[in-house]
Each structure stands twice: as C-alpha cells, then as structure tokens.
C-alpha cells in the first residue's frame, strides 16, 4: 500500500522555525522499523479484557498520587443519577392521581350518568386504566435517561459495568414495563373498539328516531296528522322532544298513548 | 455546500488530505451504545438537488458503532475507522462495499475511541481504546507494531505531532494527557491536565511544543510541553464537556472545539479575548469537527442531530 503523497501541509510550507526541544531528533526509515530498532516492538500483542482499568506495573512518572476519580466523589455522579430516577419517577407518580381524578370522577362519570348503565363503566375506565397507563410510560422514560447517561463520555465518566443483580433487575424492570405498556395499549384498544361499536349502534338508533320524527312532521304538514293522532303516536311524539334518553322511560307513563292503541284498535274492530 | 443528513448520530468528520471536496464521516445508531455504525464519504462539490444533498460517494454500514475515523496520508482512498467492538477497520473507498473492509484489526479488548494517521511519515497510525492502551499499526502489517501501556483509564484520543514523526500525545479518562515517543518504552511526559477526564487533544501545527486539551471540566487548556507545570492558557466558555479540540492547519494559535453544550467554538488562545466565534447550528451534542487542510477556513462539524455541516469560517453554517 505505498501510494501517493498528499499535497504539502500549510505548516510544512511555512517551514520550521524552532525544532522540537523536548524530543530526540526524528529517526530515518519507516515507523515500524524504527520501533523495532528501539526494542519496544511487540507485534500483535492482544490486550485481554482483564487488564482493563488495572494500574499498570510499568511507568508511573506521575509526580503526584492519582486523585480520586470524578465519579467517586460525592455529588458529581449522584446529581445525574438523581436526574434520571427521582425526577421522572415523581413525575410518573404525579400523573396518576391528577389524570385519574380528572377522567374518572368528573368527566366520564357525568358522561356515564347521562347515558345510563352502558357508559357507567367508563368511569372505571378513566380512573384505573389511566392511572397505571400514565405511570408506565413515564417510568420507562426515566430509566431511559439513566442509560443515556452511561453513553460514551456524555456528561460524566462512564459508569463501571453494573453487577449481575443490577443488570438482572434492570432487565426485569424492562420486561415488566413492557408488559405494562402492552396491557395498557390492549385495554385501550378494547375500550376504543367498544365505544366505536356502541356509538355506531346508537347512531343507527337515533337515525331511526330522526327519520320517524321527520316523517311525522312531513305528514303533519301534508295534513294527515289527525289520522296519525288517532293512531296514538302523539304521546311518543311529545315525550321524544324532552330528550332521547327518556323516551322509553316516559313512554309508558303516557296514559293516552300506547294503552289506548290496542283499545282503539279493539274499538274499531 | 449544503448540510448533509447522516443516517445516524454523527461521531466524527475528517477532510481528505488529498481531495478538497471529500469528507469522511463516522456515524453510529443509538448514540453509540448499541446498533450499527456507518462510514460515509461525502462529495462536497456535488451539486445539491432541490432541498436534498447529493448521495454519499461511499457508504458502508458496520455491525458495531464507529467512534472515529481518519484518512490515510499515504493513499488517497484508504481510511481507518475505530469501532465499538474493539476492532480497527481499514477501508478502501475506491473499492465496492463488498470488498471492504480491506483489513480488520482485532486486538483491543474494548471500544476503540480514536484513530489518527501519522501526517509526517505517513506510514503508520494509532488507535486509542477504552482498554487503557494505545496501539501503533502499519497498514502493510496484519498485526499491531506496538502497544503503549501507561494510562489508568480509558484512552479517548491519540494525535500525532504535526512536526515530529515519532511523537504523539494521548488523552485519557485518568485526567492526564501523555506525550509519547514511539522509540521509548514509557511516556516521555505525563501532564496532569485537568481535574476531570480529558476527552481530546491536539498539537499546534506551527509550534511543535504546544498542545491543547479539552476536558469534561468544560475547559480547554493549552500546554507547552517544555514547561508542563501550568497551562499557557485556559479557555472557558463551553457549558458542558468539551468533546473535541483541533488546531487550525492554516493559522497559528487558532483552534476549534465542540462540546456537549451543542455549540462549536473558534478560539485564538494568544488573544486576550480568546473566543472568536460561537456556532449554535446543531440541535444536539456536537461530536465531530474538522478544519480543511486544503481550503483555508473551511470547517466541518457533525453531531447527534444526525447532521453534517460544512461551511467557511465567518459565515453561518445553516445559510449554506
């Protein structure tokens, strides 16, 4: 791999003003040959993992004792660790009661009350599901920040490799987190599907009512209303104006309407 | 020259010493923790399409993260990349991806975080690894020539002297910067440079005894290896750890730095008001910077926002 030479460097063109004082003058020849001639060459020496971070036997021209590592000092590493764990976990805890209160008690319970028993279960949906659900993702995020700090010299020094229990518990944490998130999403989907279908059914129901109402109106405009009234639809008509939910509840109360239908018919017969 | 979008968070950029329009970039998925790496060669002269930069000349995905890259000084298409799996890979970007990497050098026990090619003799390169060692390699040998032991913690960077073919310096997490001579068994000089980890360093190209170090303690210090007791200058201005420093190849005393505070700064350490310019064009940590040797004042930077910017000194990187 001999090859070409790049253009001369700007500092080479400028020329050397003062030679290096500290170092021996450069040797001639290739770097490999020079190293071999100096007797320091150890070709292909493989560094084993066990040698890492161990104080070396050779050297120590350090004139002072090696100071404690930054991450051994109080405060430095802790502040970042605290950022990941405490802040976000408290955030997760904070999310629980507030969202639970909002969705469960006020909004959804009143909603459910208006529509009767079918939507009454939505109160439970808002309260419990949202509690656990909101806590889950944020807890996971906090843990992500913890791992983030251990990246290549991000803020502090790289942490020493965690022990077995540490990593095992971290893995378990991740698994539980994952299951929690999947369960949360599953329940959310089920709820959404349920609401979709029930809304669809309700739409059909109300559309039918609207059709009936409009038809009755049009017929009345056309002047066929007296005949319709005689058939006893009047009671249903008046009660339906009060609101859709009370229609069936109120309908039997009308004395004149449904009971008389059969009697009228019977009279006619 | 437009901004380029890298496929992953960028970790390093290098201008080619042969072609003024070529830029080498290393990128890694998931911030280098896990996932693939990407080695890219960008053509800066290619005309930009409508809103999109030209595709890279060469793109090679690797199985592990890439933390650093360096062009060969002896061969125009050869480059070295430092990988997270402890290997050093040599790529020939003129060859199709199927024939790459041309060499896979596997001797380090842990992540390799820095590579640098000897710019004077041009026949050797260095790798700095988190297994506390540095290794000297020659592209024509299948194994390392020599291993340098002495650091007590991860070695983050190794830089050859721009003037002396046998001298290089290394920056380590044991808070020291060390100056080595390849003919000596032990470091020539140990500078207890900072109170925190030293992440990067570079030699002044015009004064062979001047060295700058960047550290987690947010500062850059300039040292004279002839009197290493106290720094010549201390440059404060970054809000977080200084990830890389690099001296200008054209102007003496001028240096460029990037930091985890998402800015790139230009300094002149000999001036009273050392901070010349501050660029805030990145929206995430800036991890790689370089200054072109062939075009004066041309700068490049990359960061974890997956962008690679190339711009001339004095202009706005985003305006290009």
User: Two tokens at A214?
Assistant: 């409009």
Query: What's chain A's length in residues?
Result: 269
Domain enclosing residue B298, as ranges: 3-312
Tell me the shortest Cα–Cα distance from B51 to chain A, in angstroms: 32
pLDDT at residue B10 is higher than 70: yes
Within a domain: B233: yes
Residue B103 inside a domain? The answer is yes
Q: Work out how many CB contacts closer than 8 A connect A with B.
A: 232
Contact yes or no for A157/B216 (Cβ under 8 A)? yes
Q: Of chain A residues 15-44, which have a CB less than 8 A from chain B?
A: 16-24, 26-27, 30-32, 34-38, 40-44
CB B22, CB B46: distance < 8 Å = no
B residues 275..294 contacting A (CB < 8 A):
285, 293-294
CA angle B297/B90/B145 to nearest 5° reads 105
The residue among B147, B250, B252, B291 with the most chain A CBs within 10 A of its CB, best to mutate, is B147
pLDDT exceeds cutoff 60 at B9: yes
pLDDT tens digits for range B295-306: 888 999 999 999
Instruction: Decide: residue B117, CB within 10 A, 0-12 exposed, 13-18 middle, 19+ buried.
Output: buried
Binning pLDDT at 50, 70 and 90, where does residue A190 land? very high
CB contact A13 to B (< 8 Å): no
Q: What are phi and psi of B226, to 5 degrees?
A: -80, -25
Q: Tell me, yes or no, whether B67 lies in a domain.
A: yes
Residues of A in contact with B184 (CB under 8 A): 38, 40
| Residue B14 resides in a domain | yes
Query: A114-123, B95-104, B311-320: which range is least confident on average?
Result: A114-123
Backbone φ and ψ for A123, nearest 5 degrees, come out as: -60, -45
Confidence of residue A187 (pLDDT cuts 50, 70, 90): very high
User: Measured between CA atoms, how close is B300 to chain A, in angstroms?
Assistant: 18
- CA distances A35 to A1, B106, B179, B187, B283, Å, are 19, 21, 16, 14, 44
> What is the CATH number for B75?
2.130.10.10
The structure tokens 């739409």 sit at: A203
DSSP state of A49: G
What is the DSSP code string of chain B? ---EE-SS-EEEEEE-SS-TTEEEEEEEGGGGSSS-EEEEEEETTSPP-SSSPPPPSEEEEESS-EEEEEE-SSSTTEEEEEETTSEEEEEETTS-GGG--SEEEE--SS-EEEEEE-SSS-S-EEEEETTS-EEEE-TT-SS-SEEE---SS-EEEEEE-SS-TTEEEEEETTS-EEEEETTSSS-SEEE---SS-EEEEEE-SSSTTEEEEEETTS-EEEEETTSTTS-SEEE---SS-EEEEEE-SSSTTEEEEEETTS-EEEEETTSSS-EEEEE---SS-EEEEEE-SSSTTEEEEEETTSEEEEEETTS-GGG-
Confidence (pLDDT) at A42: 84
CB B16 within 8 Å of CB B71: yes
| HSE-CB for A22 with a 13 A CA cutoff | 22
- The pLDDT confidence band at residue B56, using thresholds 50, 70 and 90, is confident
By the CB < 8 Å criterion, does B175 face chain A?
yes
Q: What is the pLDDT of residues A4-28, one digit of tens each?
A: 788 888 888 776 555 556 788 888 8
Q: Is B318 inside a domain boundary?
A: no
For B117, nearest residue in chain A (alpha carbons): A31
Q: Which residues of A touch B130 (CB under 8 A)?
A: 52, 158
Beta-carbon separation of B138 and A152 below 8 A: no
Residues of A in contact with B18 (CB under 8 A): 4, 6-7
CA distance B145 to B135: 7
Does B179 fall in a domain? yes
In a domain, B317, yes or no: no
The tens digit of pLDDT for each residue in B233-259 reads 999 999 999 999 999 999 888 999 999
- The number of distinct structural domains making up chain B is 1
**Pairwise CB contact (< 8 Å): B144 & A45:** yes
Candidates B238, B177, B229; CA nearest to B203 is B177
CB B281 within 8 A of CB B316: yes
pLDDT per residue over A80-139, tens digit each? 433 333 333 333 333 333 333 333 333 333 333 333 333 333 334 433 344 443 433 333
Q: B280 vs B267, B302, B310, CA distance in Å? A: 15, 12, 14
Structural tokens at position B77 = 């298409």
């Amino acid at each position: 791999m001999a090859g070409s030479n790049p253009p001369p460097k700007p500092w080479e063109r400028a020329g050397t003003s003062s030679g290096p004082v500290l170092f021996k003058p450069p040797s001639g020849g290739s770097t490999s040959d020079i190293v071999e001639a100096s007797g320091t060459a150890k070709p292909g020496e493989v560094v084993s993992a066990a040698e890492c971070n161990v104080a070396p036997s050779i050297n120590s021209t350090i004139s002072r004792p090696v100071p404690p590592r930054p991450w051994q000092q109080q405060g430095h590493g802790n502040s970042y660790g605290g950022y990941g764990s405490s802040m976000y976990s408290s955030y997760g805890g904070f999310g629980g009661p507030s969202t639970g209160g909002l969705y469960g008690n006020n909004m959804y319970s009143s909603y459910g009350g208006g529509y009767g028993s079918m939507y009454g279960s939505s109160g439970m949906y808002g309260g419990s599901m949202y509690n656990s659900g909101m806590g889950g993702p944020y807890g996971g995020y906090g843990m992500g920040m913890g791992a983030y700090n251990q990246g290549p010299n991000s803020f502090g020094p790289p942490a020493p490799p965690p022990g077995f229990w540490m990593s095992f518990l971290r893995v378990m944490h991740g698994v539980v987190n994952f299951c929690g998130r999947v369960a949360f999403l599953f329940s959310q989907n089920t709820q959404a599907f349920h609401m979709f279908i029930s809304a669809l059914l309700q739409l059909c129901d109300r559309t039918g009512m609207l059709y009936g109402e409009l038809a009755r109106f049009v017929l009345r405009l056309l002047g066929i209303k007296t005949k319709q009234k005689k058939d006893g639809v009047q009671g249903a008509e008046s009660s339906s104006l009060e609101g859709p939910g009370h229609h069936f509840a109120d309908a039997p109360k009308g004395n004149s309407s449904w009971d008389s239908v059969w009697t009228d018919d019977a009279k006619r017969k | 020259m437009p901004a380029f979008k890298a496929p992953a968070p960028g970790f390093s950029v290098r201008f080619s010493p042969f072609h003024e329009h070529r830029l080498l970039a290393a990128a890694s998925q998931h911030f280098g923790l896990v996932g693939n790496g990407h080695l890219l060669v960008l053509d800066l002269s290619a005309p930009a399409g409508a809103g999109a930069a030209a595709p890279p000349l060469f793109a090679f995905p690797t199985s592990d993260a890439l933390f650093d890259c360096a062009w060969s000084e002896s061969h125009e298409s050869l480059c070295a990349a430092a990988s997270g799996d402890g290997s050093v890979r040599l790529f020939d970007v003129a060859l199709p991806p199927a024939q790459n990497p041309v060499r896979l050098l596997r001797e380090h026990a842990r992540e390799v975080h820095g590579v640098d090619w000897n710019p004077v003799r041009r026949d050797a390169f260095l790798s700095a690894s988190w297994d506390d060692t540095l290794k000297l390699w020659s592209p024509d040998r299948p194994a390392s020539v020599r291993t340098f032991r002495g650091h007590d913690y991860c070695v983050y960077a190794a830089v050859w002297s721009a003037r002396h073919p046998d001298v290089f310096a290394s920056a380590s997490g044991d808070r020291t910067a060390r100056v080595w001579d390849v003919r000596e068994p032990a470091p020539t000089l140990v500078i207890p440079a900072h109170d925190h980890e030293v992440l990067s360093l570079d030699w002044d190209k015009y004064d062979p005894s001047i060295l700058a170090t960047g550290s987690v303690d947010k500062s850059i210090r300039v040292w004279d290896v002839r009197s290493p007791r106290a720094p010549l200058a201390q440059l404060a201005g970054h809000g977080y750890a200084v990830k890389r420093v690099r001296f200008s190849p054209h102007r003496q005393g001028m240096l460029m730095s990037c930091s985890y505070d998402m800015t790139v700064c230009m300094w002149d350490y000999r001036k009273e008001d050392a901070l010349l310019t501050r660029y805030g064009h990145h929206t995430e940590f800036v991890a790689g910077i370089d200054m072109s040797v062939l075009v004066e004042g041309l700068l490049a930077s990359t960061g974890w926002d997956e962008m690679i910017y190339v711009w001339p000194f004095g202009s706005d990187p985003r305006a290009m």
